[in-house]
C-alpha cells in the first residue's frame, strides 16, 4: 500500500458499533438501548402518520418537531437543530464548528466517535486524560483550544460532571465552542440546556435513542444560541443531508408530549441501575458512580474478556472496550428488572465456580 493511501486509510478508521445480534432471545445489555418500549402515544402517532401522510414528502425543516423541542425546553425555534440521530448532529457539529487552527480538546476516555470525526474532517485533537477516579477535571482544560467536546455523563464511564463545573468551563473559554453531548443526561444529571440563554459559546446535544426508547427512529437534536444553530443548518443544507422522515417527526413530536411516561421509564431505569450497582459491589466488582443507563465495572480478580465470554455463552451480552486503562472494565446497559437479575445470577455462578 502506498504511503499516501495508508495515510488516507488511517484517517478514515471507522467507528465500530456495538453488536446487533441476529439471535433474538439474548439478554442484550451491550448498546445502551432502553429496555422499555416507547410511549403508546408515540406508536399511535406513527400509526396515524403512516396511514394519513406517508405518500407525501417530509417537511425539509422538521418544524413541528423543532417547535415541540423548543416548547419543551422553553427555547426559541431558531435555537433548535434536529438530525437523524445525535450521531448525524455530531458529524455536522464537527464539520461546521470544530475545525480550527488550534486543537479540539476532549477526554482521553470518551465516546469513540469523536476521534473518527476528527480523522474524517482532518481536525487536530488533544486528548485530556481523565483523573485517577475517571472524572473530568476541568482545570486540565485551561489551555489554548479550538473547541471542547465531552459527553455528560461521560461514555463509557457513566461519570457525571456537575452543572456548576460545566458553567466554569464555559466561563474559562468564552471564545471557544463548548459542546456538551448529553445522550444520557436524563438518567440522573442536570442538563446544560438551562444555560443556553446565558452562554453564546454553548451547544448541547441530546438524543431520543436512550431515555425516550427511540433508538430505531434516529432522532437527535442540538440546542444553542441562534448563530450556532444557523451554522449547523448551513452545513446540513450545503451537503443536502436528508431531512427527518415523516414517521420520525411524528413519533418524536409525540414523545415530547407524553412527559409522564418518559419520567416513569427513567425512574425505573435509575432504580434498576442502583440495585444492579449494589449487587455487583456485593459480588466484589469495583463500580464507577453512574448517572447513565449503564454501569462501568471491573472485577479485581477476573479478566473482563473472559467474563464477557462466559456471560455470552449463557446468552447475555455486555460491552468490552479493548483500550488502555479500561480494558478490564465491562460496560453493562441497564435492562429490565428480570434482565438485571439474570445477569446477577449468571455472574454469581461464574464467580463462584
Give least dist CB 179 to ligand PMP, A. 11
Which residues, other chains included, contact 127 with Cβ-Cβ below 8 Å and sequence gap of 6+? 106, 107, 108
The residue range among 74-82, 207-215, 264-272, 340-348 that interacts with ligand PMP, by the rule CB under 6 A, is 207-215
Annotate each residue in 248-287 with x if it binds ligand PMP (CB under 6 A) or - if it does not, as one string.
Answer: ----------------------------------------
Annotate each residue in 135-164 with x if it binds ligand PMP (CB under 6 A) or - if it does not, as one string.
Answer: ----------------x---x---------
Among 65, 183, 277, 326, binds ligand PMP (CB under 6 A): 183
Among 34, 39, 95, 207, binds ligand PMP (CB under 6 A): 207
For 250-282, b/e burial (b = at least 16 CB within 10 A) is bbbbbbbebeebbeebbebbbebbeebbebbee
C-alpha cell read off for 111: 465516546
111 forms part of the interface with ligand PMP (CB under 6 A): yes
**How many other β-carbons are positioned within 10 Å of the β-carbon of residue 45?**
22
Cα–Cα distances (Å) from 1 to 6, 47, 116, 250, in that order, read 6, 51, 21, 48
* DSSP one-letter string for 141-152: G-S--S-EEEES
The residue range among 82-90, 229-237, 239-247, 249-257 that interacts with ligand PMP, by the rule CB under 6 A, is 82-90
The residue range among 36-44, 80-88, 244-252, 318-326 that interacts with ligand PMP, by the rule CB under 6 A, is 80-88
Tell the residue number behind the cell numbers 438551562, with chain if given.
194
195 forms part of the interface with ligand PMP (CB under 6 A): no
Give least dist CB 85 to ligand PMP, A. 3
For residue 30, report the phi and psi dihedrals to the nearest 5 degrees. -115, -15
The residue range among 83-91, 117-125, 258-266, 308-316 that interacts with ligand PMP, by the rule CB under 6 A, is 83-91
Distance CA 274, CA 278 (A): 6
C-alpha cell read off for 302: 477476573
Residues in contact with ligand PMP by CB under 6 A are 85-87, 111, 151, 155, 181, 183, 207, 209, 215, 220
Amino acid at each position: 500500500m502506498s504511503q499516501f493511501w495508508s495515510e488516507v486509510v488511517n484517517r478514515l478508521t471507522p467507528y465500530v458499533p456495538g453488536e446487533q445480534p441476529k439471535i433474538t432471545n439474548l439478554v442484550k445489555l451491550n448498546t445502551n438501548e432502553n429496555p422499555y418500549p416507547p410511549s403508546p402515544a408515540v406508536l399511535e402517532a406513527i400509526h396515524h402518520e403512516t396511514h394519513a401522510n406517508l405518500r407525501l414528502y417530509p417537511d425539509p425543516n422538521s418544524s413541528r418537531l423543532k417547535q415541540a423541542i423548543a416548547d419543551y425546553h422553553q427555547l426559541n425555534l431558531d435555537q433548535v437543530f434536529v438530525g437523524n440521530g445525535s450521531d448525524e448532529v455530531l458529524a455536522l457539529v464537527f464539520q461546521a464548528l470544530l475545525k480550527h487552527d488550534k486543537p479540539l480538546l476532549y477526554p482521553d476516555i470518551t465516546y469513540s466517535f469523536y476521534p473518527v470525526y476528527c480523522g474524517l474532517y482532518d481536525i487536530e485533537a488533544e486528548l485530556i486524560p481523565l483523573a485517577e477516579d475517571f472524572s473530568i477535571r476541568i482545570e486540565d482544560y485551561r489551555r489554548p483550544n479550538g473547541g471542547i467536546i465531552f459527553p455528560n455523563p461521560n461514555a463509557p464511564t457513566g461519570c457525571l460532571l456537575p452543572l456548576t463545573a460545566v458553567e466554569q468551563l464555559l466561563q474559562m473559554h468564552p471564545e471557544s465552542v463548548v459542546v456538551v453531548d448529553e445522550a444520557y443526561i436524563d438518567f440522573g444529571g442536570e442538563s446544560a440546556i438551562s444555560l443556553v440563554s446565558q452562554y453564546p459559546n454553548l451547544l448541547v446535544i441530546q438524543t431520543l435513542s436512550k431515555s425516550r426508547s427511540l433508538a430505531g427512529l434516529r432522532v437527535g437534536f442540538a440546542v444553542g444560541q441562534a448563530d450556532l444553530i444557523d451554522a449547523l443548518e448551513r452545513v446540513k443544507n450545503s451537503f443536502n443531508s436528508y431531512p427527518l422522515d415523516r414517521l420520525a417527526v411524528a413519533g418524536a413530536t409525540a414523545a415530547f408530549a407524553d412527559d409522564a411516561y418518559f419520567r416513569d421509564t427513567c425512574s425505573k431505569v435509575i432504580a434498576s441501575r442502583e440495585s444492579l450497582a449494589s449487587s455487583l459491589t456485593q459480588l466484589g466488582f469495583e463500580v464507577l458512580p453512574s448517572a447513565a443507563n449503564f454501569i462501568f465495572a471491573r472485577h479485581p480478580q477476573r479478566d473482563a474478556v473472559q467474563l464477557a465470554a462466559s456471560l455470552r455463552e449463557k446468552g447475555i451480552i455486555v460491552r468490552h472496550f479493548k483500550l488502555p486503562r479500561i480494558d478490564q472494565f465491562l460496560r453493562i446497559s441497564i435492562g429490565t428488572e428480570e434482565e438485571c437479575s439474570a445477569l446477577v445470577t449468571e455472574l454469581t455462578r461464574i464467580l463462584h465456580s
